[in-house]
Amino acid sequence: MSALQSVSRKDHAPGAYDVVVVGAGFAGMYMLHRLRGLGLTVRVYEQGGDVGGTWYWNRYPGARCDVESMQYSYSFSDELQQQWNWSERYAPQPEILRYANHVADRFNLRRDIQLNTRVDRAAFDESANSWSVTMSDGKTVIAKYVVLATGCLSNARMPDIKGLSDFKGRVYHTGHWPHERIDFTGLRVAVIGTGSSGIQSVPVIAEQASHLTVFQRTANFSIPARNAPLTEEERQAFRAKYPEIRRFAREVARNGIYTEMPDRGALDDGDNERRAKYEQRWARGGLTFMSVYNNLGLDKAANDTAANFVREKIAEIVRDPQTAKLLQPNNHPIGSKRICIDTDYFATFNRPNVTLVDIRSNPIEEILPNAVRAGGKDYEIDALVLATGFDAMTGSVAKIDIRGRHGQTLNQKWAEGPKTYLGLMSAGFPNLFIITGPGSPSVLSNMIVSIEQHVDWISDCLAFMRDRGFEAMEAEREAEEKWVAHVNEVAHTTLYPQANSWYMGANIPDKPQIFMPYIGGVGVYRQICNGVAAKGYEGFVMIAAEQAQRVATS
């Protein structure tokens, strides 16, 4: 009997589990559900005060998903997807959080989730082939497997700006927003950062603030969301087509979103036809703007046609020509940074109470107790909103002291950039899985599609190991090196590496600049993962109990 089978009995030792899952967001919750289905004992530790992960923390004004809710939702339970009523095309954060809570209750997940508990340390015990996991409450448990469901955008980054701690008003980070309602009515507010979080929050804050000053370092491409309430007919039409929609999103789409697949490049159409297509997608709104043509991410000349179209739209919307010019992105191809989806972002700069400050040419010098000083000018404010992003993809993992074979830490191993095989495991760290980790499509896709694929793959893998009496599993170094090279090679066939994006780690000083997600597409990636499993987990070493002892002592 394998150790996995022995601890999966009901009378397992206190403090010993088959699996510890870190995080109770969408990944951690579904992981728990699947592992329970295998009859395994599982403990989930969650730092937040409730389930929901990114949707628990990102409560800033205007926060909502940028993939349509009928698709940004679990597909594993047909009853769930048939019964849940999304109210809008892009549900607002409180509704997505309600959905996460509903899932936790509906599948009775809470009894295995310990909230308000951070995992601080995980050390692999080579003699026992298990992990010793220590939490912020000082307790340590033993687990055969650890699954990191820590999210890709969970480690909010505070910018290193002189004087920030001297500011006398309140400071908010969009990724760590307070739970109580924040009312900016009558206040002079500054927003620093114009990524998705800034672009979503600016129009809402502008409606409340007496004055809003937006500090922009890099102008970003943004497409109108065209958000609207969903009618019952629209929901029913979607539900009736769910089998096909979900199949397409998993197997065919590059980004896990059901939409038309482009069959031609941007330069294959004449100017008028191309413009008509962009107009149509602009009117429809949303992320699928980028799939009008099949070469926008690959060919700079093709990309320029889309980028120029959006720049023209900005100039049409924004009345002041100087402000419009500043809002027109000009230092990266469209889509090479995560494209933003907005509601009235550009039009907000027509309001008399909104000012745009270009901090690329006039950098912020310091924060004073009552103002932001940039380009020698003081902008007086009462409240400061930092929409400055995250230490993405690796940041939340790096906060945990993870020690694998021979005491090597994951941070040491990843010092020059994350190294994984398929984004799922890292050599030298047996029985440690990562959900939507670097090296997998993750942030380039509809996250829930990618989460479900990883969770299913890991669950099938654990069942395989149990059925064959394997004790430990580990990525082979050679397979990992080949995969890292492949991820890098595919990225460099695209325009993505041309932007200083968080995909590249470029937003964090001294972080190695490597394109982290796998850009080959979710359908292709799923086939690769399935192929690896079909070949008995090719590229992974599976170790039986006695063998494991030999590896540990060698």
Q: Which of 47, 196, 431, 436 binds ligand N01 (CB under 6 A)?
A: 196
- Give the Cα-Cα-Cα angle 233, 237, 242 (nearest 5 degrees): 145
Residue with tokens 């997608």: 281
Minimum Å gap between C-beta 223 and ligand N01 is 11
Residue with tokens 């990114």: 54
Contact 201, 342 (CB under 8 A): no
Site membership for ligand N01, residue 198 (CB under 6 A): yes
Locate 243 and state its tokens. 């089998």
Considering only residues 267 to 306 of the shown chain, the ones binding ligand N01 according to CB under 6 A are none
Site membership for ligand N01, residue 421 (CB under 6 A): no
227 vs 343: CA distance, rounded Å = 7
Give SS3 for 475.
strand
List, in sequence order, every residue forming a beta bridge with 122; answer none if it has no partner: 133, 402
Locate 190 and state its tokens. 């500054």
User: How many helical (H) and strand (E) elements, i.e. helices and strands, does the chain have?
Assistant: 18, 20
Nearer to ligand N01, 296 or 359 (CB): 359
Site membership for ligand N01, residue 97 (CB under 6 A): no
Measuring CA to CA, which residue among 541, 438, 443 is closest to residue 487?
A: 438
Site membership for ligand N01, residue 343 (CB under 6 A): no
Minimum Å gap between C-beta 22 and ligand N01 is 20
Taking residue 264's Cβ as centre, other Cβ atoms within 10 Å add up to 12
One character per residue 507-526, x = contact with ligand N01 (rule: CB under 6 A): x-------------------
Minimum Å gap between C-beta 538 and ligand N01 is 32
**Interface region with ligand N01, contact rule CB under 6 A, candidates 138-146, 188-196, 400-408, 516-524:** 188-196
**Interface region with ligand N01, contact rule CB under 6 A, candidates 10-18, 192-200, 265-273, 350-358:** 192-200
Q: Which of 197, 303, 431, 445 binds ligand N01 (CB under 6 A)?
A: 197
Nearer to ligand N01, 192 or 290 (CB): 192
Give SS3 for 273.
helix
Minimum Å gap between C-beta 26 and ligand N01 is 12
102 vs 40: CA distance, rounded Å = 23
Nearer to ligand N01, 24 or 359 (CB): 359
List, in sequence order, every residue forming a beta bridge with 20; answer none if it has no partner: 43, 146
Minimum Å gap between C-beta 159 and ligand N01 is 3
Considering only residues 118 to 157 of the shown chain, the ones binding ligand N01 according to CB under 6 A are 153
424 vs 433: CA distance, rounded Å = 5
Q: What is the phi/psi pair of residue 191, to 5°? A: -115, 125
Residue nearest to ligand N01 (CB): 195
Q: Which of 389, 404, 520, 539 binds ligand N01 (CB under 6 A)?
A: 389
Considering only residues 423 to 462 of the shown chain, the ones binding ligand N01 according to CB under 6 A are 443
Considering only residues 32 to 91 of the shown chain, the ones binding ligand N01 according to CB under 6 A are 65-66
Nearer to ligand N01, 124 or 390 (CB): 390
Site membership for ligand N01, residue 192 (CB under 6 A): yes
Locate 273 and state its tokens. 């036809």
H or E stretch covering 483: helix 477-491
Q: Which of 2, 388, 442, 459 binds ligand N01 (CB under 6 A)?
A: 388
523 vs 176: CA distance, rounded Å = 33
One character per residue 167-186, x = contact with ligand N01 (rule: CB under 6 A): -------xx-----------
Locate 270 and state its tokens. 């004449």
Contact 494, 298 (CB under 8 A): yes
**Interface region with ligand N01, contact rule CB under 6 A, candidates 108-116, 181-189, 385-393, 546-554:** 385-393
Q: Which of 73, 81, 154, 200 binds ligand N01 (CB under 6 A)?
A: 200
Minimum Å gap between C-beta 129 and ligand N01 is 37
Locate 36 and state its tokens. 């329970």
- Tell the burial category of 255 from Cβ atoms under 10 Å away from its Cβ (0-12, 13-18, 19+): buried
Give SS3 for 463.
helix
Minimum Å gap between C-beta 395 and ligand N01 is 11
Considering only residues 359 to 378 of the shown chain, the ones binding ligand N01 according to CB under 6 A are 359
Locate 29 and state its tokens. 């919750």
Cα 498 versus chain centre, distance:
20
**Rg (Cα) of the chain, in Å, rounded?**
24
Site membership for ligand N01, residue 332 (CB under 6 A): no
Nearer to ligand N01, 274 or 332 (CB): 332
Considering only residues 213 to 252 of the shown chain, the ones binding ligand N01 according to CB under 6 A are 217-218
C-alpha neighbours within 13 Å on the C-beta side of residue 523: 13
H or E stretch covering 215: strand 211-216
Task: Name the site residues for ligand N01 (rule: CB under 6 A).
Answer: 65-66, 153, 159, 161, 174-175, 192-198, 200, 217-218, 338, 341, 359, 387-390, 443, 502, 507
